Amino acid sequence: MKRLLPLFLLVLLFGGCEGRSSFLSPQGPIAAAQSQHFWYVVTVMMVVCLPVFIGVPWIILRYRYKHGRGDYSPRWHFSKPLEILVWGVPVLVVIALGIKLAHATMTLDPYKPLAGDAVEIQVIGYDWKWLFIYPEQGIATVGDLVFPADRPVSFRITSDTVMQSFFIPALGSQIYAMKGMETRLNLAATGVGEFLGENSQYSGDGFATQSFAVHAVSEEDFATWAESGKADGMPFDRTALEALQAQSTRSELLDTLGVSGESVVFTDAPPDLFTSVATDPSRMGAMQ
């Protein structure tokens, strides 16, 4: 039984090797803090786990029925010092973990803006693709999420269909996207790189294909990319909007739009598209 523990750790370490999609090889400050927190919890938890991993085999060997050693006291059922230990240690561990929990939850709050001049990107989830709107650059994309690596990104997220979850594992947190509501997520990359982005909430037939390529690029590359998108992209017209709203995978969408490749850039995004999806006119009060 004791062998299971190393096996488990091995699986975890194996998980750490792969770059693009794991927070354990973090590509941004949020994921880095999460990775560090992960190992902190695992380590502290060993205080309560190791006694089980070691104690159980030891007890069943020492007190085994045949040829067992150690005394036999069938009525023994209470010991004050042990009782204090058995309750006390878990309490201390939970205190140690709880303080860290509270701290990490506040500092890694996805709504909390990161230091620096953030790029705003509006995200709308459709069946089964994401639309990324760059209000400052005046463009929008499907399939590619591009941002400058040395600036934080502030995502404003909503959905024009069922609930989805916007997730870039290598950078850290995810957050739900819900119709008529806006959620927020602040992430950043530590350097130039390519990561996997996905929807992690099952949303129907095309769910598995609802991923996107995340590119953290240099400031200049970003500017060039945005300008060429503005110049050479597709217009965001009615057809485009209807195609987005239809139930289709990204590649079906691109076929409809007559675009080859994995992604498309629109030259102009309707400035109020995001707000109109993210607010529900029938909900009277102010809702975030």
Select the residue interacting with another protein from 114, 118, 192, 196 (CB under 8 A): 196
Select the residue interacting with another protein from 121, 142, 145, 170 (CB under 8 A): 170
The phi, psi pair for 146, rounded to 5°, reads -115, 135
Q: Is the peptide bond before 58 cis (omega within 30 degrees of 0)?
A: no
197 vs 171: CA distance, rounded Å:
9
Select the residue interacting with another protein from 6, 49, 116, 239 (CB under 8 A): 49
Which residues, 6+ apart, have CB-to-CB distance to 102 below 8 Å?
none
With contact defined as beta carbons under 8 Å apart, do 139 and 268 qualify? yes
With contact defined as beta carbons under 8 Å apart, do 130 and 199 qualify? yes
Establish if 190 lies at the interface with another protein (CB under 8 A): no
Select the residue interacting with another protein from 27, 28, 29, 34 (CB under 8 A): 34
Binding region for another protein (CB under 8 A) out of 115-123, 141-149, 172-180, 237-245 = 172-180
Binding residues among 53-112 for another protein as defined by CB under 8 A: 53, 55-56, 59-60, 63-66, 68, 70-79, 82-83, 86-87, 89-91, 94, 97-98, 100-102, 104-112
Establish if 41 lies at the interface with another protein (CB under 8 A): yes
For another protein, the closer of residues 229 and 250 by Cβ is: 250
Nearest to 168 by CA among 128, 220, 110: 110
Select the residue interacting with another protein from 201, 226, 243, 250 (CB under 8 A): 201
Tokens of 22: 């794991």
For another protein, the closer of residues 175 and 234 by Cβ is: 175
Select the residue interacting with another protein from 22, 27, 141, 248 (CB under 8 A): 22
Binding residues among 262-281 for another protein as defined by CB under 8 A: 280
Binding residues among 217-256 for another protein as defined by CB under 8 A: none
Q: At residue 74, what is the residue type?
A: P
**DSSP string computed for 158-218:** EESSS-EEEEETTTEEEEEE-TT--EEEEE--SSSEEEEEEE-S--STTGGG--EEEEEE-
Binding region for another protein (CB under 8 A) out of 144-152, 162-170, 232-240, 250-258 = 162-170
Binding region for another protein (CB under 8 A) out of 26-34, 133-141, 213-221, 228-236 = 26-34
Buried b (16+ CB within 10 A) or exposed e, 58-75: eeeeeeeeeeeeeeeeee
How many residues form the binding site for another protein (CB under 8 A)? 107
For another protein, the closer of residues 12 and 231 by Cβ is: 12
Establish if 158 lies at the interface with another protein (CB under 8 A): no
Buried b (16+ CB within 10 A) or exposed e, 100-128: eeeebeeebebeeeeeeebbebbbbbbbb
**Least distance CB 179 / another protein (angstroms):** 4
